[in-house]
Every structure is written in structure tokens, then in C-alpha cells.
Amino acid sequence: MKIFTVLKNLALLGASLLAVALLIVALEYTAGLANPEKEQAGKMQLLFPPGSEESFETAEFSYTVSINQLGLRDHEIDPEKRAACRVIALGDSFTYGFGVNLEDTWLKRLETHLQDSGLEVEIINCGSPGAGPADYANFAKKIIPVLKPDLVLVGILQDDIEVGDPPVLEAEWNDALAWVRASFPNIMRLMRQKQPWEREKENQDDVTPPQVKSSQLNRELDANAMRVQLEQATPEARARFEQLDPLVRERALSGNLNPFMVLSALNGPNYYVWRLALDTTTMQQAIDKTAGSLTYIRTVAEYCGAETAVLGIPLGPYVNRPSYENVQRLGFEVIEDMLTTDAPDRGTELASQGAGLPCVTATAAFREQADRSGLFFELDGHLTPEGHALYAETVAPFVTEQVKAILNR
């Protein structure tokens, strides 16, 4: 008799809890329908001024950049209308696709590959030239709540390990109420409880007017930047510039070569070498900082219901002999070990492990074709369309596995 009473009470308790749960779900759904503050898709500056357009034409490439109404270098996107699996890719110019048209970027080639294999997936370009891991973290808290991806890919270039301090993780992303706020956003809104990203939105600047730049203007801007930096350079740096290959000097001064590449060599010739010593205090701290930025991204993604994974992106001098030789023409120092060491990948892998994230690299695939020219632009150094294609092909199995796991949940 006592056992029957206990079972009866447990059944009543279970039924009561189920009723409360159903009531909360119904309230969340109803609050969503009645929400007068529900945002409509419109112009946003997630990264760049929406509607901007730039053209670039140098001795090595010619391409056009169009920015959509959300401020991203991609096709127009409706945040609410999505494929079965939405993927976003955070990264720098190698993800953005500097030097190539949008359809030639590794993201779009990867998207096509996955779709051709039967997966209903979209991959959105959230790359920004000159950015690093700390920037990716700041991008994440703006972009992820808007696009609500299922998977966040973070493209870590082999020289990203050392760029910037990670942002401080706001308590709202992982405090005691984080799960409640994330699971029941409409109820929280009725209770006037702000989401973490909404606290900053009030202080954001207005959307910047579209920027339109011709290829001629961009060359003039680069040429002027090069001249100004040379005027301000140390005597040693100016002397190094005069010793460069005449073609390199001509392209730099005419705006036909990214001034960052030349200036990096003038100001730090050992740019590619010192990063190989992972056991130094400087590199250990850099790896820890990168892990901190990746942890921030993972936390924001988890709050919004997304998975995160890291993609290691190769730099030419570490994987390709023509690139290894060409950076010397720019004034960079090299050592033969650069083409064989696993240090560039280990930095990315250690940072990913520190953040508890899966990671894949592409160094081995590129080194299998180490003598192949045409994978990286000769002096600019970015991936060519062929390089983007090889990278997409290399990471496709890893990303396919991540996407299938999400679709099968």
C-alpha cells in the first residue's frame, strides 16, 4: 500500500512538473507572437558600412567587393530565413577573400561542396581584413545573436597567435541565469531583462553611409600610405627599403602592393621566424591570449545555441617554396625549418585545446604540393583562387562532420 502511495505521489509530481513546463513553453511562444519590439531585418553595420562597394586592380589581381545590408561581404541575407544548418566564418583577410571575388573564396567553394554532397547548409562570410582573435571575439557578440548560426567557424591564420588581448567576458553570458535568459528570451523581454548583446546596442553608433571606392582610388591610398610610412620610418628601415628588389619598390610606391607586407618586413624582418619558438614566454602568453579569445567566442556561441570549431589557415612561407622565396624579395628573413616545422600549427592547436574546441589544419595538404606555384599571390601573399580551392577541399571532411552532427541532433 505504501509503495502504491509513493508511486501515485511521484506520478502526480511528474504530471505537475510537466504541466508547468508546458505552461512556460506556451507562455514563451505567446510572448514571442505578441512581442511588439521584435526586430525586423534591415540595414546593420555588423562589420562594414552596408551597401559599400570597392574595386581593386593591381599587378597581381583584380576583384570587386560588395557589402550587403547587414554589413558583411556576402550575398544579401535574411537573418530569419535560413538553411537547415547555418554556418558563419569569423576571420581576417584570408577568410574575407582579399584578392579574389566572393565566389572564389574558400567559404563559398566549401559551401558549394557541402551542398553538392546533399547537405542543406549555408556559409556566411564574416571575415575582416587586418583582424585578429581578439577582434573575432568582439565580432562574435555582435554577429552571432543576429544571424543565430548553428556552427561558428573561426579561421586562425598562422600568424594570428599574438594579436591582441581577449575581451573580458561579461557575466551575463555565463552567470546563474544565463540558461534561463537564453532559453526563454521572450519571457525575459516581458520581464525587461536584457540579453547580453542588448546592453551594448544602446551605445552603438549609427550606420555609416556606404563607401564607394574605385580601383584607382585604392591604389592612390596605398601609394600614399607607403610614402607617409617611409617618411616616418627609421633610417635603418629606409635603408632596407632601398635594398629591396626594384620591382618590389616600384609596386609599393605605385600602390600595386599591399603596404602592410612591405612595412612589416622593414620594421620586423624576422616576422615569420620568431613565431616558431613556441617555448618562449612571449609565445606562451600569446597562445594563452588566443585561447582566451576562442573561449569567449565559444561561450557566446553556446549561449545562442551554436557549436564552434577552429580552422587553421596556412601562410605561404610555412607551406609553399615559391612563397618562401618571394617573401625574401620583400625583405623578410627566413630559415629552412619554416617549411618543415609543425610550430605554426601547434600554436593554433594549443590555443584551440585551451578553449576546448575541435581544430583542423591544412599545412600537410599544402606541403604535399610545396613546389607548386600559383597557390599564393607572388608578392601580396594571400591565397589565390587556386589556393582557396585547395584549402576548401582540405577542410571539407572536417566541416562536413561538424555539420552532419548538427543536422542529426
If pLDDT is split at 50, 70 and 90, which confidence band does 21 have?
very low
Q: Per-residue pLDDT averaged across 231-237, rounded? A: 94
If pLDDT is split at 50, 70 and 90, which confidence band does 24 have?
very low
Joined grid coordinates for residue 307: 557549436
User: Which tops the pLDDT comparison, 166 or 146?
Assistant: 146
If pLDDT is split at 50, 70 and 90, which confidence band does 161 have?
confident
Residue pair 172/329 in contact (Cβ under 8 Å)? The answer is no
Residue pair 218/55 in contact (Cβ under 8 Å)? The answer is yes
Percentage with pLDDT > 90 across the chain: 77
pLDDT of 296 reads 95
pLDDT of 214 reads 97
Say yes or no to pLDDT of 116 above 90: yes
Say yes or no to pLDDT of 92 above 60: yes
Residue pair 383/106 in contact (Cβ under 8 Å)? The answer is yes
In 73-114, the DSSP E strands lie at: 85-91
Helix (H) or strand (E) holding 312: strand 307-313
Q: Which residue has the cell 579561421?
A: 155
Strand order in 212-213's β-sheet?
62-66, 53-57, 212-213
Pairing of strands 62-66, 53-57: antiparallel
Say yes or no to pLDDT of 355 above 50: yes
If pLDDT is split at 50, 70 and 90, which confidence band does 196 have?
low
If pLDDT is split at 50, 70 and 90, which confidence band does 14 have?
low
- Predicted TM-score (pTM) of the model is 0.86
Q: Per-residue pLDDT averaged across 193-221, rounded? A: 76
pLDDT of 238 reads 94
**Helix, coil or strand: residue 393:** helix
For domain 53-213+274-407, give the CATH number: 3.40.50.1110
Say yes or no to pLDDT of 143 above 90: yes
Please provide residue 85's backbone torsions phi and psi, each rounded to the nearest 5 degrees.
Answer: -130, 120
Q: At a CB cut-off of 8 Å and minimum separation 6, what does 288 contact? A: 351, 354
Alpha-helical regions (H) of 272-320: 281-303, 316-319
- In the chain, where the domains are located: 1-34, 53-213+274-407
**How far is the C-alpha of 133 from the C-alpha of 276, rounded, in Å?**
18
Per-residue pLDDT tens digits for 295-343: 999 999 999 999 999 999 999 999 999 999 999 999 999 999 999 999 9
Percentage with pLDDT > 70 across the chain: 80
Residue 304 one-letter amino acid: C
pLDDT of 18 reads 54
Minimum mean pLDDT range among 120-134, 184-198, 206-220, 362-376 = 184-198
CA dist list (Å): 237 to 39, 265, 269, 271: 52, 9, 10, 14
Minimum mean pLDDT range among 95-109, 185-199, 382-396 = 185-199
Minimum mean pLDDT range among 102-106, 201-205, 236-240 = 201-205
Mean of per-residue pLDDT scores for the chain: 88
CB atoms within 10 A of CB 187: 17
Per-residue pLDDT tens digits for 250-268: 999 999 999 999 999 999 9
* Paired strand residues for 383: 376
pLDDT of 316 reads 98
